[in-house]
Amino acid sequence: MRPQDRLAKTGEVEKMTKRRFTRPDGTVYAVTLEHRPGGGLVYTRLAKERHKCWRPQGWAFDKPGLEWAVGQGAQWLEIQTEAAVYRCPTSTLVEAIEVNFGAGPQILVPLEHWTITKKKCPPAGQQERFTQLAFEW
């Protein structure tokens, strides 16, 4: 089950709004706004930790999608990774840096503006099992 579906099922999300955008290279991405009871409007994004920017450290958003979300009234930015949830208010965008890593204009919010909540590991026995493959030479 996707995290968005889980949140909607538990009542943590009243309504979700999505809009598609196209980057200059032709790839399509979606922006998701979640209307949470008592939590306002949140721009959420699923990402892997490895997609975090390292120099400068922070998280980058495609500029057109972020501008649309803020124009719709988003008060929070939230990134959900496999290990943690990163959250910051949109008021920190005044500290953001405009960057372009080759996929079009992006807005990078430095890491010091994010509140990081680590996700808990599942209880023993419910963890995914991995098998080390043996290679013969």
Threshold 0.75, pTM exceeds: no
* Residue 134, pLDDT score: 56
Any domain includes 74: yes
Any domain includes 130: no
* Residue 19, pLDDT score: 79
35-64 burial, b if ≥16 CB within 10 A, otherwise e?
A: ebeeeebbbbbeeeeeebbeeeebbbbbbb
Mind listing the pLDDT tens digit of every residue in the chain (137 residues)? 444 454 444 456 667 787 787 777 777 777 888 887 766 778 888 788 877 888 888 998 889 888 988 888 888 899 888 888 999 999 999 889 999 888 789 999 999 999 999 877 655 555 555 555 555 65
CA separation for the pair 116, 8 (Å, rounded): 22
Any domain includes 126: no
Any domain includes 73: yes
Please give the residue range of the domain that contains residue 83.
Answer: 3-118
Domain count, the chain: 1
Cis geometry, peptide bond prior to residue 56 (ω within 30 degrees of 0): yes
Any domain includes 129: no
